[in-house]
Amino acid sequence: MEIALFEPEIPPNTGNIIRLSVCTGSTLHIVGTPSFSLEDSMLRRAGLDYWQLSRLTSHDSLEAFIQFLQNRDDQPRDEVRRRFVLTTRFARISYADFSFRSDHILLFGKETSGLPDSVRHTFSDLEKNWLRIPVHGDCRSLNLANSVSVILFEALRQQGFPGLNLAPPADT
């Protein structure tokens, strides 16, 4: 699984997601310009010592990210685009009703405003890949790190938790 954060705004959220990506064997991408430095102490503190183990790449824009994936995976643009799963409150499909594949790229928006119109427009022909997390009517969304955790673990559950330790640690 791959996680992509579009222009994240809160360093501790991104730090928590770095730790989550390491613990799940997921690759993490930062797309666009975050509103903080990747050297931020809050980011590093939330990521703990997992920072050095992370598979984190940054991309200047969504277009640059798509081009990176095309080149890395030797796939045409349309194939790459179909792998994206957007999380947005504008989606009609619950994440719990979606069939995840191991090659999906889970794209999450900014903490304060979600995915902008321009990003949703890029994938407007793929609304079957737009997901939402059901929340109470008085709430717009969950915390970003929580949202990534909820959706990523459902996707991994559907795949049988590949590469993850399912058994408890042995007594020592």
Which of 69, 151, 52 lies closest to 107 in space, CA to CA? Answer: 151
Instruction: Show Cβ contacts of residue 162 under 8 Å, excluding neighbours closer than 6 positions.
Output: 25, 102, 156
Average pLDDT over residues 141-148: 92
Distance, CA of 150 to CA of 144 (rounded, Å): 10
- Read off the amino acid at residue 108: F
Rounded percentage of the chain residues whose pLDDT exceeds 70:
90
Q: What are the tokens at 167?
A: 């058994």
pLDDT at 51: 59
At 94-127, the pLDDT tens digits run 999 999 999 999 999 999 999 999 999 999 999 9
> In the chain, what are the domains?
2-158 (3.40.1280.10)
Residue 148: pLDDT over 60: yes
With cut-offs at 50, 70 and 90, classify the pLDDT of residue 93: very high
Q: What are the tokens at 8?
A: 């994240």
Q: What is the 3-state secondary structure (H, E, C) of 5-22?
A: EECCCCHHHHHHHHHHHH
